[in-house]
Amino acid sequence: MDVMSDGVTVVLALKALCHAKSRLGDEYHPDADRERLVAAMFTDTVAAVRSAGHHDVVVVSPDPQVRDLTRRLGARAVSEPGGGLNAALAHGAAGADGTVVYLQADLPALRAESFAEAVAAAGRLPVAFVADRHGTGTALLAVAAGVAFTPAFGTDSAAAHRAGGAVELDPSGTRWPDLGCDVDTPDDLRAAVALGVGPRTDTAMLMPQSDAAHNHAE
């Protein structure tokens, strides 16, 4: 019998677009172009999750633009309370009665099948996670209903989650490479492109920077 409940709440957090993914700046100028790319990666991530099943999707952000986009994607938007990423994720999970799946918001290559398989695999365990492609960060953390476990996203989060008792679902990083490919740097983005990014990200990357800046200003 699966440990996790049938009810799944997926929680994502995204900072204000103007501050997001600054490490992409060397290759994505002006800022409006980077903001468009971040919004596109977020959109592809949420679209994959929603295609994977009838999950309750909650997005926590301080940015009204992100919250508006979240509602247009059919997810629930929540204002960020402050206190950093883990505080935002905990705020988004408040009130959830079933499984909570914490997910990175920048997975442009994510496929619905990979997400569904990972959630199903996590359903056999009280707490489980999928590391990022570097093996140090965390792309997904699933916590069963009634299990007390505090997310520790940030530097070396994979080690922190492992030390806390979470089971790593894909230690080799080969089962769901798209799920493990969150984007912080140009190298990460190139890896995602090699796997095949979603349509919004693809369009954002193809748009000339001047057009992106013009559209952002409208």
Give pLDDT tens digits for 27-57: 665 566 889 999 999 999 999 999 998 789 9
Alpha-carbon distance of 87 to 32, in angstroms, equals 28
Q: What is the pLDDT of residue 27?
A: 64
Directed axis angle between helix 31-52 and helix 209-217, to 10°?
80
DSSP annotation of 19 reads G
Q: What's the confidence (pLDDT) of residue 93?
A: 96
User: Is 138 within any annotated ligand binding site?
Assistant: yes
Closest CA to 127 of 150, 154, 95, 97: 150
Check the annotation: does 154 bind a ligand: yes
pTM value is 0.90
Q: Phi and psi for 89 in degrees, rounded to 5?
A: -65, -40
- pLDDT reported for residue 24: 78
Q: What's the token pair of residue 98?
A: 């079933």
In terms of C-beta density within 10 A (0-12 exposed, 13-18 middle, 19 or more buried), how is residue 54 classed?
exposed
d(CA 55, CA 79) in angstroms, rounded, equals: 20
Residue 213 is predicted with a pLDDT of: 41
Return averaged pLDDT per consecutive 10 residues of the chain, 218 residues in all: 62 92 68 86 97 92 97 96 94 94 98 97 96 97 95 96 97 96 93 96 74 42
Contacts of 14 (CB under 8 A, 6+ apart): 20, 38, 42, 59, 60, 61, 63, 66, 105
pLDDT of residue 12: 98
Which pLDDT score, from 0 to 100, does residue 30 have? Answer: 59
Alpha helices in 53-134 (DSSP H): 64-72, 85-93, 112-122
Q: Among residues of the chain, what percentage have pLDDT more than 90?
A: 78
The token pair at 127 is: 């707490």
What's the confidence (pLDDT) of residue 206?
A: 78
Ordered by start, the domain boundaries in the chain are 8-217
Locate 138 and state its tokens: 């965390």
- In words, the CATH class of domain 8-217 is alpha beta
